[in-house]
Chains A and B, each alone.
Chain A
């Protein structure tokens, strides 16, 4: 079975603080893909990053960075120097590779991030 757990339901920080959003996944597949999506108050889903299971290199994009660790089945997301515009719900998602795979995404429950000025 595949599952994504985002244990942090809500996080509140003050602007310019760093914040890390946790994501733990479960799958028996050896090939899979992990994603982060942002859902601002307007409701759309904005793609942030994809990571393949065979590439554990961490990635940095501006104030965003992602830490992928297969040993702990985690794919954590860090925002450095948070800004009010970062306030949103963040979803971690999993897609597995396999003969029955049709590409569906399995989402975590989401973490609501509130950045206060």
Chain B
């Protein structure tokens, strides 16, 4: 069964550094998402991406964040100048369509720890 994959599973970085979180969505999916979950809290939407551009972003997604689909398979989330409060689990998701009967399939997550 096709699945969304994410690498690395755990990333530790120092405050102020840049990190890139990688995701490989399901191959025929067209809509891509990043969500964040601070430990013990709810899952929060960060950004949605379609047709090589951002279709919606939340207030969390400030100018330190960027997303890119550099090739036909990868979908990346870059965080520049990381802060302690960026520490969280980051989930990538993809869907075939954004509406109606199409679910978002989530990856296993990348745990980001900023020290």
Return chain B residues, CB-CB under 8 Å to A106: 45
Contact of B43 among A50, A52, A107 (CB under 8 A): A107
B contact face: mostly helix, strand, loop, or mixed: strand
Give the contact stretch, choosing among A15-23, A62-70, A78-86, A95-103: A95-103
| Chain A-chain B contacts (Cβ-Cβ < 8 Å), number | 59
Judge whether B42 and A102 touch: CB under 8 Å: no
The reply on B95 being an interface residue by CB < 8 A is yes
The answer to whether A50 touches B103 (Cβ under 8 A) is yes
Q: Give the distance in Å from the alpha carbon of A103 to the alpha carbon of B98 in the complex.
A: 5
Contact-residue size bin, chain B (C-beta under 8 Å from the other chain):
20 to 34
A47 & B44 in contact (Cβ 8 Å cutoff): no
Enumerate chain A residues within 8 angstroms of B101, measured Cβ to Cβ.
50, 52
Partner of A44 from the list B35, B50, B109 (CB cut-off 8 Å) is B109
Contact B50–A102 (Cβ < 8 Å): yes
Listed from nearest, the 5 A-B pairs whose CB atoms lie closest are: A103-B98, A102-B56, A102-B48, A45-B106, A102-B55
Inter-chain pairs besides A103-B31, A104-B56, 7 sampled, C-beta below 8 Å: A44-B107, A44-B109, A45-B106, A50-B101, A91-B42, A102-B31, A109-B42
A residues contacting B by CB (< 8 A) are 35, 37, 43-45, 47, 50, 52, 91, 93, 97, 100-110
